[in-house]
Structure formats: C-alpha cells, structure tokens
Amino acid sequence: MSDKNHLVKPGEYRPIDLLAVAASREVRDGDVIFAGTGLPMLAIMLAQNTHAPKATCIYEAGTIDGKPIDLPTSVGDARCGYQASIISGLIETFFGQLHCGYIDTAFLGGAEIDQYGNVNTTVIGDYNAPEKRLTGSGGNPDINGLARRTVFIMVQEKRRFKENVDYITSPGWRVRKWPGGEYVHKKEVYGKYFRGGPEAVITNMGVFRFDENGVMYLDTVHPGFTVEQVKDNVSFDLNISRVRGETELPTKREIELLYNVVDPEGIFLT
C-alpha cells in the first residue's frame, strides 16, 4: 500500500492529471466549496478521497454536499444530488449560501486572466465590437466575488495571461468602481462584503499566487517546464522572484483515484 503514496515519475502522468492534482491540493479539509463544471469537480472529488474528506461541495444549480457516485457533466446534473444533505435551487445557493457568507473556497475556470486576477469569460476585444464572444459570466463573478478565496484553473497561453483583460467578467484584486469606472482595490468596492479574492491560479505549466498588492507571481513550475517557458507564456512582466521550485508530482494513488474512482468513464480525463 505504502508505495501508492510514492510520487509518479515524469512521463507517467498526463498534463491534465497534474492540473487536477495540483488543484485538489488547494482544497482544505472542512472547507465549504462552491465549484464550477469540469476540472474543479475532479479536483474536489479527488481531495475528498484523499486529504480533505470533510470538504463540502455546493453546486450552483441547487445541490448541497452531494456525494456523487458518477461524475456529473454539469452543475445541474441529476448526479450532483446523490446523497446530498439538501437539494434546493438557485435562491438557496446564491443568497442562502453564497451571499450570506458560508463559502470558504470557490473553484472556477476562465478564458483570460490578468495580473490582478480579473477573469474574462465574456468577449475578446471591445465589448461593443468584439472579435469573439465567449459564454458570458454564468455564476463565476458572483461566486468568486463573495467567497473567501478563489482558485482558478486555466490553460496557460500567452494570449490568455494579459496585463489587463479585455472585459472584467469576474473580479480580481483590482476592480472597477462604478459608475465612474476607476480602478480600485476590491475592498473599496465590496465594503462589508469583502471577504478575500483570487488566491491561486493553476495551469498546465505552473501554480501562480498573488502578493500583498494583489499582483500575480509564479509560485511553482510543473516538472518538465522551466521558469522561462512559463514567463514566455504570460504577456505581462511576470514576477518570478518568489518561485519556490517545482510543483510536487502526483502520487500513484492520486492518479489511480482520478482514473478509477473520480472519472472512470473518461468524461473530462479523455
């Protein structure tokens, strides 16, 4: 058994596996988590099967602390409700759980992110004459805005890591105060509802965190990549002075759980 806790060797896992494992390590035991569809689900279910059995997961469509035995393909899926403590709806999740302050950690995705952790899932280019229209916000900004901490899971590409996103769909540490639109610290806009903000960004190349001023820095690099390679895939001047080293590899047990227990059907781990 003990050798299942051994780390796998580089080449014995796929990039998406490390993404899921690194994200799962951000889950704290006992956390109340609000998660989006896809990799966030894998990360939480993996954490619940390893170091965080008491983590609770809320999906915005209405299920609270479900124990799915088959991986949901979306947060509205019938599978989310298996053995849940409560099955409810959107009033409960958005107001009764999120707005009133129960949520410790948000696990979300995004198309673009900037150095302040602002995320864009709405348009590429000018909103009034966009190059590309994306899905829109969904619950991303609501959940991220009112959770105590947020972990974003994203694809690492130069065009996705911007100095400033084209459209702030979801709030980072430096946001806009309306109606004027001046850029201020999130605290100034959220007031008594300020509870925190983006804490980590996990990509296929590394783990990023935010400093005291709410600016992104590189924390660890995934094995097989160099700091320079990560820097080349970010379009702002990334702070690499705080790099702690390499991201810890997955264990054999984590990989087995991912493929045999969490996603045996190959839905997200295709």
Partner 1 sequence: MERITIKDAVSLINNGDMVSFSGFTIWRRPMAIVYEMVRQQKRNLHIADVNGGTHSEILVGAGCVGIWESCWSGHELYGKLGEMVADRHLNGGMIIEDYSHGHMVARLLAGAWGLPFMPSAMSLGTDILNPDYDGFNKAGLRDGSHPSIPSKKYDIISDPFFGSGDILLLPAINPDWAIVYASQAGEEGTIRVNAQTYLDAELIKCAEKVIVVAEEIVPETYLRQDPKHNIAAGYAIDYLVELPWAAHPTGSQGYYDVDGDFIKAFYQASKAQSTFDKWADEWIFGLADHQAYLEKLGITRLEKLRANNALGYSKRTKRGTR
Q: Which candidate, 18, 46, 33, places its Cα nearest to that of 151?
A: 33
Q: Is 60 a catalytic residue?
A: yes
Instruction: Report the amino acid identity of residue 66.
Output: G
179 binds partner 1 (CB under 8 A): yes
Tell me, by CB under 8 A, how many residues bind partner 1: 69
Our CB check for partner 1 shows the closer of 28 and 99 to be 99
Q: What is the closest distance, in whole angstroms, from the C-beta atom of residue 230 to partner 1 in the complex?
A: 25
Our CB check for partner 1 shows the closer of 143 and 230 to be 143
Question: CA–CA separation, 135 vs 150, rounded Å?
Answer: 20
Our CB check for partner 1 shows the closer of 173 and 225 to be 173
Residues 23 to 42 in contact with partner 1, rule: CB under 8 A: 37-38
Query: Residue 153: beta bridge partners?
Result: 109, 202
137 binds partner 1 (CB under 8 A): yes
Q: What is the closest distance, in whole angstroms, from the C-beta atom of residue 33 to partner 1 in the complex?
A: 17
Handedness of CA 43, 235, 194, 91 (dihedral sign): negative
x/- string (CB under 8 A) for partner 1, residues 193-232?
A: x---------------------------------------
Query: Can you spell out the DSSP letters for 199-253?
Result: EEEE-SSEEEEE-TTS-EEEEEE-TT--HHHHHHT-SS--B-TT--EEPPPPBHH
Q: Which candidate, 256, 266, 230, 201, places its Cα nearest to that of 8?
A: 256
**Strand pairing category for 149-153 and 197-202:** parallel
x/- string (CB under 8 A) for partner 1, residues 69-98?
A: -x--xxxxxxxxxx----xxxxx--xx--x
43 binds partner 1 (CB under 8 A): no
Pick the piece of the chain touching partner 1 (CB under 8 A) from 17-25, 169-177, 218-226, 243-251: 169-177
